[in-house]
Each structure stands twice: as structure tokens, then as C-alpha cells.
Amino acid sequence: MPLKTNSPKASDPRPTLEGRKVHRIVFVTGKGGVGKSAVAAATALQLARAGKTVLLVELGSRSFYGPLLGLPVGDDTVRWTSRIGISRWDVESSLREYMSHYLVFKAAADWLLNYTVMKALIAAAPSLAELAILGKLTGPMRHDWYRREVDVVVVDAYSTGQFMALMRSPRGLSRSVTSGQMHRHAASITAVLSEPAICEYRLVTLAEEMPTAEACEMAAALRAETGIAPRLYINRVVDLPAQLPAWPAGDPAAPFIQHMTRVAARQRESLRALQALGDQSDGPVRQLPFIAVTDAQRLLQALADALDTDPGAAR
Amino acid sequence: MRALIESHRVIVCAGSGGVGKTTIAAALGVAAAKMGKRVLVLTIDPARRLATALGIANHANDVRVPGQKYRGQLWAGTIDPARIFADYIERHARDRKTVERLLANSLYQQLSTTLSGSQEFTSLAKLHDAATRGDYDLVILDTPPAVHAVDFLRAPERLNAVFDTAIVSLFMGRTTGLGLVATAWKQGVKLYLAALTRLTGSAFVATLSDFFSAIDAIAPDIRQTNLLARKLLLDPSAAFVLISSFDLAKIQEGEAFQDELVRAGYHLRKVIVNRAWPRWTQGDAASQAAVRKSLLARGERKLADLQEALADYYLARRSLHTGFAELLILPEMDDQIVGLGAVEELAARLVAEA
């Protein structure tokens, strides 16, 4: 088997970051349908405006940004703006890239990965899939040989339950496989995910009962797993006065006023619930405006404007 | 919608996260029960969405939804993937030791609870069981939360891959074929395991090997269940209903799902665009102008501008093109849907708008 010999030192993952060119990671998550992908893209814009070079990464079986922005998003990074590239990572390509380093000949990596059994394993074995994605993401922090020439990677991550499963997988694996390469990989990934100088978690919700309840549970779960409190964002907040006027019932504007009164109550309730999380949230609860445009580019720019008003958000 | 409920034994509610699948599944259940059906609504309900909506507690067995006065009967069942998997093993493992070894394996623990298609598998297993047992006229499945609607269709394949005989044989050291082929296979396996050990360490390979040899006993049963469930879903008596929402990304995704369903031979009977717009925006241009005028007359300029912007926005959304064949558009409900009364209201609207 043509394997490259690595000195123990080179393959030994160290949680320290000295001497390594590393980048920050911003995870964006939340319940499905809350606008997580839009907030992730706007986060990329926000960071780019602050002068950073950004890689916006999406996970999952289909590209969200490709059709939305009219870009051929895939394995290779495509330019969105001068400072932002977008790519979609899948398990197989992540693992292939990783293994290619350890195997001298690319042909050998291909052979291994094309092997029916390996394909099936990747498709099915749960830990491998998650480790592959997280391993690729945290590669530059854990290996001298791994370079990624960006300042920040913004991850449009899975929604609530799946995201927590992703976050827990390396710790679970390092506990059950107590020695060897896999153990060291898993342990070093866990260390990176818990490093506040590297990782930031943005948790998006809507001012509705279910998403807010899920966000509260998830903020606590994230804090417990990583030790890092997430930043909380209420998305699609309608700018309404503190007190809506009383309106005569038969008037043409009455249904509108009634609806807005309900919206205002929901928004207050959601804000109150999230604020009650206290130090389980990183800083104050942020509110992002409801943006009444259907054009994707305009929507994302407007969202980035809103993120820009948040002092200290673009570290 | 009435005809759809009348003429099917299974309805699968699919769609990407956050579009309101669970609520629509519950409302379809209510509508069917009102039509005189014995109906079961099945869901994996990690956030207790259905339970909250219907006012029931999570329960291992199917529960008759309390407070109903229908011609038929409404039942709700929650799916617990870990428990269903454990049941499988208990039933099909050769001996106690195998059961314990598997339950203790870390890969198994992840498999039974997380990303790997097990939620979909256990949903299908339970769906097949409920639909063929004869207790119900109709079973409605709320598909597990997923990034994309298509993930549901691909999940059985992914799970089948785990239980593939080739992998099990590999780790159990069995050979397939004869003579040269067997020798080549053995040689390949040796190389493969060596490479895997080099990459992951022997402890990991040992865990993998232990896992695959332990599941060998239940693999045929898993494959069989997948096969039966697929057959059930391909039958014309099984209807797929796609739940979508009214934004460009969701519509594009929905159209891709529609294509994939049709290609695979499933029967997509309806696409529901849920919470398309608030009801107050439904009036024509003249009535929106009247609302604005009334707001301005009382000096509410800010609210008038908001109303105008929102009315324009929802009008623009309404004109978004969709390539859906059987489309049903549902406006937003005024209140959040909590309790059987609210679900009944949605059900009435579902049936009325068809």
C-alpha cells in the first residue's frame, strides 16, 4: 500500500494555534424556514464589507445559493463578490481531499474511494460523514500542511437537531474510540469547535412560538457542548410602534391593524423569551428587519446593512 | 383535497424544514376523520410539534386524539427511532450477547439516533406496519425534518448501504465467489483494511468491524422492510403531498422534488403552498388603497407606508411563477396553530380551497 510516512509530530494534532495560519469560523444555524441561509449569506457580505476574505460554505445534498444567485455552486469555490467565494461541501469530496494528503498517489486515494465498500461506508456510516465535514472545516487549525487562504469561513449549517448531532459527533467518537488516529482527529476537532477565538455561533429564529422555543433549547445545548454562547438573531422583525392604535371594527384598515397588533405581541413575546436566556446568549438579542423585497441580491444586501449596524459584530 | 383523502390509503407529507409539514399533516388527519375515516397521523416529533398542536402527550403507542367529535376516528402516533431500532435488534438478533454488543457499540448509538437515514427508515417501517395492519383506513406520514425534501427519498438507499452484504462480509472475513475471484477479493479486502487502519487507527477499525458483524443478524430484515415500504409508496393508493412556502428558493427546491418524485414513479397528488400571505393582503389594488387612505386619515403615516410596502411585497410574491401541476395555496392563519380547534379551522380551509 503506497502510503506516505508522516513523522509523528506532523500528524499529532495540537490544540494550540501557534505558527499556523488559521481562519475564523462562523456557524449559522436555527430551525428550518427561519431564513438561516439568507442570514449566512448576509453575514458573508457583512464580513467582506469589513475587509475580510470570506468562504461561504453550504452543506447538504443540493445547493441553495446556486439557483438563488444564479451561480454554478459546487465542490470548487465560485466567486460571488470580489471577496466572497461560495462552495458546497459534500461528504465524499471532503473525505477525498483529506485522504489524498495521506496517500502519496492521488490514484491510490481514488482507488480507495471508488471501492464500492468505501462509497457505501461514506454514504452510511454516521460518524465518518460528520467527521469528514468538520475535519475539512477545521483542517487549517489542526495541521501544518493544511492551508485555506481566507480570513473567515461562514457555514450555512444544518438546522437545529441535525446541527447538534453534527457538533456532538466528534466528542462522541473520541470517547468511544479511545486511541489511534481517529481518536486524535476527533479530539482535536472538538477542541477547535470549543475555541472562542476561532468559532462563533449565530442562532437565527423568528418571532414565533415554535422557532423561539427551539432557539432557547438550542442556545443552552450549544453552550453546554462547546462552552461558547451563541449570538441570537430574531429574523424578519416588522418595525412597529410600541403601542398600535385602537381601530374601529368596520374600517377598511381594521384587518391590517389587527394583524399588526398580533405580530407586535409575538415579537415582544419572542424577545422576552430570548432575553431571559441571559448569559447563554453572546451579547444582546439582535433583531433583523423584515425586508419586503423579493429580489435575492437586494434582500441579502439589506440584511447585511442591518448586520452592519450591530457594533462589534464583525470581529 | 376531499377526493385525495377519499381515494388513498397512505398520504406522505414531504417538504423542506419549516414549511409547516407537521401542521398540515395534522389538519389532513382532522379532515379525514371528519369524513368518517379511521385515520392515523404519524410523526417523528422531536419538538413535540404535533403533540402540542393536537394536545396529546408523547406516547409509545398510538393515541386517540382527545376532544374529537368526528364521524371517524383520529389517532396520532409518534415515532421514536432509537426504540424502533432496538426492537428490531431484540427481535432478530441470534442471542442476548449480540444484542448487548450492538446496543453498546458507539456507531450503533449514532446510527439509531442521528443523521444517517435512520429516522426515515423507522418512519417507513412504522408506516408500513400501520398501513398493512388493517386498523386504519388512512395513514398520514409527516416526514422527518430534513434540509431538503428529496432527502426522504434517498434515505433508504443510504441505510441499505450500511446493511449491504458486501460490507458485512468484508468485516466478517467472509469470501464471495470462487477461485481467482475470491483470492482477488481477499487481497482487496486486506489492502483496504490496511489503508483504513492507516488512516483511522486500529481502534476505529475494530469498532467498525464489531458493528458490522453485530448487525449481520438484522441486515436481511432491514433490507426487507425497506423493500416493502418502497413498494407501498410506489402503489397508486399512496399519495405524496409536497408542502412548500412562497419564496423563490423553496419553489425551486419544490420543483426539483416534483421532478424527482415523478421520475422515480411516485404519485405527487398535490402541492400546498402554505402561509402564502396574510389574509389582509388579499384584497385588490383599490381596497389596499382604501386601507392606506384610512390610515393616513388618522395620521398614521408610518403604518400607512408599512402597509403599502407589505401589500406590494405580497403582490409581487403572488406573481412568482411556479411549475407545479396540482397547486393549492393557503393564506396565513391569523393565529399560531395551537390546539385541536385551530387545526380544525385549518382542516376546514384545506378542504374548502381544493
Segment B23-77, tens digit of pLDDT:
899 999 999 999 999 999 998 765 566 676 676 666 678 889 888 899 999 999 8
Task: Identify the pLDDT of residue A138.
Answer: 94
**Alpha-carbon separation of residue A121 from A31, B170, B214 (angstroms):** 29, 12, 16
B94 plus B200 within the same structural domain: no
A269: cell is: 413575546
B192 plus B57 within the same structural domain: no
B159 plus B229 within the same structural domain: yes
> Which of A 92-121 lie inside 8 A of B, CB atoms?
99, 102-103, 108, 112, 115-121
Q: pLDDT per residue over B338-349, tens digit each?
A: 778 888 999 999
The CA-CA-CA angle for residues B31, B35, B36, to 5°, reads 120
Task: Identify the pLDDT of residue A5.
Answer: 31
> A33 vs B290: CB contact, 8 Å cut-off?
no
> B334 vs A253: CB contact, 8 Å cut-off?
no
pLDDT averaged over every residue in chain B: 83
pLDDT averaged over every residue in chain A: 84
> B170 vs A262: CB contact, 8 Å cut-off?
no
DSSP annotation string for B173-220:
T---SSHHHHHHHHHHHHHHHHHHHHHH-HHHHHHHHHHHHHHTTTHH
Find the CB nearest A115 among B192, B248, B300: B192
Contact B77, B62 (CB under 8 A): yes
B233 plus B209 within the same structural domain: no
Q: Note whether residue B18 is domain-resident.
A: yes
Cβ-Cβ contacts under 8 Å, B200 against chain A:
180-182, 185
Strand partners, B243: B272
DSSP conformation class of A103? B
Is B286 in the A-facing interface, judged by CB distances under 8 Å?
no
Q: pLDDT per residue over A229-244, tens digit each?
A: 999 999 999 999 989 9
Which residue, among B106, B172, B171, has the nearest Cα to A178 in the 3D structure? B106
Which residue, among B166, B331, B149, B156, has the nearest Cα to B228 in the 3D structure? B156
CA quadruple A74, A76, A80, A83: dihedral positive or negative? positive
A17 pLDDT more than 50: yes
The CA-CA-CA angle for residues B186, B189, B195, to 5°, reads 145
Pairing of β A24-30 and β A152-156: parallel
> B47 vs A33: CB contact, 8 Å cut-off?
no
Find the CB nearest B47 among A162, A210, A252: A210
Task: Identify the pLDDT of residue B166.
Answer: 63
Task: Identify the pLDDT of residue A3.
Answer: 31
> B201 vs A209: CB contact, 8 Å cut-off?
no
> B115 vs A175: CB contact, 8 Å cut-off?
no
- Compute the distance between CA of residue B188 and CA of residue B166 in angstroms, rounded to an integer: 12
CA distance A16 to chain B (A): 22
Site of grid cell 487549525: A141
Task: Identify the pLDDT of residue A51.
Answer: 94
**Alpha-carbon separation of residue A192 from A13, A25, A220 (angstroms):** 11, 10, 19
Q: What is the CATH number of domain A20-91+126-308?
A: 3.40.50.300
Q: Which segment of A54-63, B180-189, B206-215 scores lowest on mean pLDDT?
A: B180-189
Dihedral over alpha carbons B14, A74, A136, A35 (to 10 degrees):
-50
Helix (H, G, I), strand (E, B) or coil at A242: coil
Cβ-Cβ contacts under 8 Å, B202 against chain A:
180
Q: Note whether residue B183 is domain-resident.
A: yes
Q: Note whether residue B291 is domain-resident.
A: no
B124 plus B109 within the same structural domain: yes
Task: Identify the pLDDT of residue A227.
Answer: 96
Which residue, among A225, A233, A165, has the nearest Cα to A199 in the 3D structure? A225
Considering A98-112, A251-265, B190-204, the range whose residues carry the highest mean pLDDT is A251-265
- Compute the distance between CA of residue B11 and CA of residue B35 in angstroms, rounded to an integer: 15
- Compute the distance between CA of residue B117 and CA of residue A125 in angstroms, rounded to an integer: 10
**For chain B, percent helix, then strand, then coil, each to nearest 5?**
60, 10, 30
Q: Note whether residue B310 is domain-resident.
A: no
Q: Note whether residue B123 is domain-resident.
A: yes
Cβ-in-10-Å burial (0-12, 13-18, 19+) of B64 comes to: exposed
> A253 vs B307: CB contact, 8 Å cut-off?
yes
Which residue, among B160, B21, B158, has the nearest Cα to A129 in the 3D structure? B158
The total number of structural domains in chain B stands at 2
Is B138 in the A-facing interface, judged by CB distances under 8 Å?
no
Q: Note whether residue B286 is domain-resident.
A: no
Site of grid cell 408506516: B127
Cβ-Cβ contacts under 8 Å, A266 against chain B:
336
Is B123 in the A-facing interface, judged by CB distances under 8 Å?
no
B82 plus B174 within the same structural domain: no
Task: Identify the pLDDT of residue A224.
Answer: 94
Find the CB nearest B280 among A37, A62, A256: A256
> B201 vs A253: CB contact, 8 Å cut-off?
no
Question: Closest residue of A to B255, CA-based?
Answer: A67
Residue A14, Ramachandran bin (φ over 0: left; ψ between -120 and 50: alpha; else beta): beta
- HSE toward the beta carbon, residue A119, CA cutoff 13 A: 7
**Alpha-carbon separation of residue A93 from A76, A97, B234 (angstroms):** 10, 6, 32
Q: pLDDT per residue over A65-96, tens digit each?
A: 998 899 999 888 999 999 999 999 987 778 77
- Identify the H or E element spanning A235: strand A231-237
Is B249 in the A-facing interface, judged by CB distances under 8 Å?
yes
Q: pLDDT per residue over B149-167, tens digit each?
A: 677 777 777 677 666 666 6
Structural domain boundaries, residue B192: 166-217
Q: pLDDT per residue over A202-218, tens digit each?
A: 999 999 988 899 999 99
Is B79 in the A-facing interface, judged by CB distances under 8 Å?
no
- Compute the distance between CA of residue A84 and CA of residue A57 in angstroms, rounded to an integer: 10
Cβ-Cβ contacts under 8 Å, B109 against chain A:
172, 176
Q: pLDDT per residue over A28-38, tens digit each?
A: 999 888 999 99
Cβ-Cβ contacts under 8 Å, B249 against chain A:
37, 64, 67-68, 296
Q: What is the pTM of this model?
A: 0.85
B65 plus B122 within the same structural domain: yes
B336 plus B207 within the same structural domain: no
Question: Closest residue of B to A131, CA-based?
Answer: B200
Contact A290, A236 (CB under 8 A): yes
Dihedral over alpha carbons B266, B271, B272, B277 (to 10 degrees):
150
Site of grid cell 458507539: B106
> Which of A 31-50 lie inside 8 A of B, CB atoms?
31-34, 37
Residue type, A52: K
Question: Closest residue of B to A211, CA-based?
Answer: B18
Interface probe for B, chosen from A97, A112, A158, A176 (most Cβ of B below 10 Å), is: A176
Is A82 in the B-facing interface, judged by CB distances under 8 Å?
no
Helix (H, G, I), strand (E, B) or coil at A214: helix
Which residue, among A206, A210, A230, has the nearest Cα to A288 in the 3D structure? A206
Interface probe for A, chosen from B143, B215, B306 (most Cβ of A below 10 Å), is: B306
- Compute the distance between CA of residue A184 and CA of residue A241 in angstroms, rounded to an integer: 54
B115 pLDDT more than 50: no
Helix (H, G, I), strand (E, B) or coil at B74: strand
Tell me the CATH number at B108: 3.40.50.300
Find the CB nearest B150 among A61, A166, A184: A61
Interface probe for A, chosen from B116, B121, B210 (most Cβ of A below 10 Å), is: B116
Kindly list the domain boundaries of chain A, sorted by start residue: 20-91+126-308
Site of grid cell 471577496: A83
B240 plus B210 within the same structural domain: no
B88 plus B25 within the same structural domain: yes
> B114 vs A169: CB contact, 8 Å cut-off?
yes
Q: pLDDT per residue over B75-93, tens digit each?
A: 998 888 778 878 877 877 7
Q: Note whether residue B309 is domain-resident.
A: no
Q: Note whether residue B324 is domain-resident.
A: no
Is B310 in the A-facing interface, judged by CB distances under 8 Å?
yes
B151 plus B267 within the same structural domain: yes
Which residue, among A299, A234, A32, A238, has the nearest Cα to B278 in the 3D structure? A238
CB atoms within 10 A of CB B261: 19
A93: cell is: 469530496
A216: cell is: 432557547
B117 plus B208 within the same structural domain: no
Alpha helices in chain A (DSSP H): 8-11, 36-49, 65-69, 91-102, 106-114, 116-124, 126-142, 160-176, 180-193, 209-226, 254-275, 296-308
CB atoms within 10 A of CB A295: 11
